[in-house]
Amino acid sequence: MIIEHFEDGLKLAKAFLETKKRDNYFDFTALCEENLEECVYSNHLEDDEVELLRALKEKYGEEYIKHLDEVFDDPDIIHDFTCGDEILDIDLDNIKHKYSFSIHELKTDGTISTHSHLVELSDDEYAKLLAWCIYDEHLTINVLRHRDSNLFDCIMREIDSYYLQKEGYFWVDNPYIPTLDEANEDTKQIIRQHNIQRDGFYLGLFPFI
């Protein structure tokens, strides 16, 4: 199979994600008891828990939050949702998942340390990342900046935010480079599944970047 257009890779990526096992993350809104204001948190849900909540919402409508004890018989689970506050809503339509990127960090002594970092992306965002990897055999995070600046910003915003908090800096002059580890591995699976032929050249608008 020959990939001639980005859209070809996007179709394959979306089909692949329908079979990929991942952890689900949903935003939920709670009322902060201390400040009496609404706060948004992120929480992890298993696939079966998502289905239970959707069934509950279908049964009770927007009042389903008041009936969480019908599907979660452990009070600690409900407490984890609320973070001790009153839960107001769970955004069941906005699923995100966390994907692994390796961070290669240049130390002041000239050595490089490497560790894994999870970046939260929506299905559409990760499908686009896979599509770019399929379409461009040589895709790196810096090449992605030229191909899809919005997706690049989405990925780097979370990584930059982590380092800003970690180091306490107001500005970081990029002493670290992320690599697309999980996306690259998923791309290899897609290529094998569809017998995609690649000639080793860039396929798109930026052949020399």
pLDDT tens digit sequence for 55-85:
999 999 988 888 888 888 777 666 666 555 6
- Confidence band of 203 (pLDDT split at 50, 70, 90): very low
Q: At which residue do the structure tokens 């500005």 appear?
A: 171
- Confidence band of 47 (pLDDT split at 50, 70, 90): confident
Q: What is the pTM of this model?
A: 0.74
Those residues with Cβ within 8 angstroms of residue 184's Cβ, 6 or more apart along the chain or in another chain: 133
How far is it, in rounded angstroms, from Cα 181 to Cα 192? 17
